[in-house]
Amino acid sequence: MPQVAARISSDQEKWLKDYFRTKSAGAEFILPWAVDTFFRAINSIRSNYTPGELKTIVEAHRDIKLLPDHTRLSYLLLRVMDACEVNQIHNRHGASKTSLEAKLKRLDDTQATALMVWASAFWVSRACSIDNMDEYIKAY
């Protein structure tokens, strides 16, 4: 099985040691579960949006570094609606700002976080290019 070296906080390390026999045992359980859960969630969430809406969400996360304290629905709404208002990115991708906002408001914080992580990941991926955005939103 491939190795992954992750950085975790002291609290996260303590949690893994408290709930599993070792930190490694905990990480070996949690990481694959988290990845699988993320992809199931993001596929389910993405299916509710048009390609133009997904492109708008992805573009709204350009040059954004996500912080754990900023992964909530309120931040997603602020980021996407501000990008629409200021830069009209929804028009560039053929999305309705009103429809997109209504759909986003139906998400809970966990779903919003998954969408934000997915959108931000595009900009640090190997595929990072406006020309590759169509393929990114269709993947998975």
Q: Could you read off the pLDDT of 123-135 as tens digits, one per residue?
A: 988 767 777 888 8
State pLDDT tens for residues 69-105: 888 999 999 999 999 999 999 999 999 999 999 999 9
pTM to 2 decimals? Answer: 0.84
| Angle at the Cα of 82 from the Cα atoms of 79 and 84, rounded to 5 degrees | 110
Nearest to 64 by CA among 80, 49, 52: 80
Residue type, 136: Y
In a domain, 39, yes or no: yes
Q: Let me know: does 90 contact 84? Beta carbons within 8 Å.
A: yes
Neighbours of 136 (CB within 10 A): 19
pLDDT band (50, 70, 90) for residue 7: confident
Is the pLDDT at 136 greater than 70? The verdict is: yes
C-alpha–C-alpha distance, residues 7 and 68, integer Å: 14
Locus of tokens 């595929």: 127
Nearest to 137 by CA among 84, 77, 93: 93
The number of domains in the chain is 2
Token digits of residue 54: 């997904």
Residues 35 and 55 in one domain: no
Which residues are within 8 A (CB) of 30 and not within 5 positions of it... i.e. 6 or more apart? 16
DSSP 3-state of 124? coil
Nearest to 45 by CA among 73, 25, 15: 73
State pLDDT tens for residues 15-74: 888 999 888 888 888 888 988 998 899 999 999 999 999 999 999 999 888 888 888 999
In a domain, 5, yes or no: no
Residues 116 and 72 in one domain: yes
Residues 15 and 81 in one domain: no
In a domain, 1, yes or no: no
Neighbours of 35 (CB within 10 A): 11
Residues 97 and 78 in one domain: yes
Residues 98 and 116 in one domain: yes
